[in-house]
Structure 1
Amino acid sequence: MAEPILDIATIEQLNKADLIKAIDWLITKDFEKLVFILYRIDVSEAKIKSLLDQANTTDAAPVIAEAILQRLAEKKASREKFKQDPSASDEEKW
């Protein structure tokens, strides 16, 4: 596998299997970039460590992928919850 191009928009478009492959590649070839991606998505190191400790597997990529997908879903839900109605007047927005 060639170096995956991973930014938040790309990650949101990947299916879980492709995300796992990309994370696996990053774990073995560019761990620093994986840490940066986790930081940008706001997945804490403590959460990853906790999930890995709880997992009954030695394969970290699926666990990390699930954490990323979960955090992206949380962020999307939060954006939807707090999205302002575009038809509201400026006075109603305040």
Structure 2
Amino acid sequence: MDQELIVGLEQQLGISLVTETSFEALRKRLAGKVTELINHDFPELVRILYRVDVNENKLKFLLKEKVGEDAAYIIADLLIERQLQKVATRKQFQQPPPENEADKW
């Protein structure tokens, strides 16, 4: 499991995910948190989705397309997908360390 993914999701959702060892366990834990937010603090869920930058149009499309499926799992999948995109982007643009001491600042 990608540690950057875990840390990013923990920061955004305010829950500990360190014990999750599989993708399915992570997904289930996130869906549980999303369900809790849907039922008890919907504005907080909207704020998290905005902060994580989940694509609103994609979310609406998937919720309409997957009628009958658990919305919490759909949202959890989108949260994971977006965090993985962020991790990949950081890695893509990460600068390699300088090869010699003279190039360090």
On whether the aligned pair clears a TM of 0.5, the verdict is yes
- Structure 2 gap ranges (5+): 1-9, 21-25
Q: TM-score, normalised by structure 1?
A: 0.77
AA matched with 2:12:
I
RMSD of aligned C-alpha atoms? Answer: 2.2
CA drift at 1:31:
0.4
Q: 1:7 is matched with which residue?
A: 11
Q: 1:3 is matched with which residue?
A: none
CA drift at 1:7:
3.2
Q: Cα distance 1:62–1:77, how it changes in 2: closer, same or farther (>3 A)?
A: same
Provide the aligned length of Structure 1 versus Structure 2.
Answer: 85
Kept after mapping to 1: 8 A contact 2:34/2:72: yes
Q: Answer yes or no: is 1:50 the counterpart of 2:51.
A: no
Q: Answer yes or no: is 1:24 the counterpart of 2:35.
A: yes
**Separation in structure 2 between the aligned mates of residue 20 and residue 70 of structure 1, nearest angstrom:** 14
Q: 1:81 is matched with which residue?
A: 92
Select between 32-41 and 12-21 the one with higher mean Cα deviation.
12-21
CA drift at 1:8:
2.3
Q: Cα distance 1:81–1:11, how it changes in 2: closer, same or farther (>3 A)?
A: farther
Q: TM-score, normalised by structure 2?
A: 0.70
Identity across matched positions, percent: 36
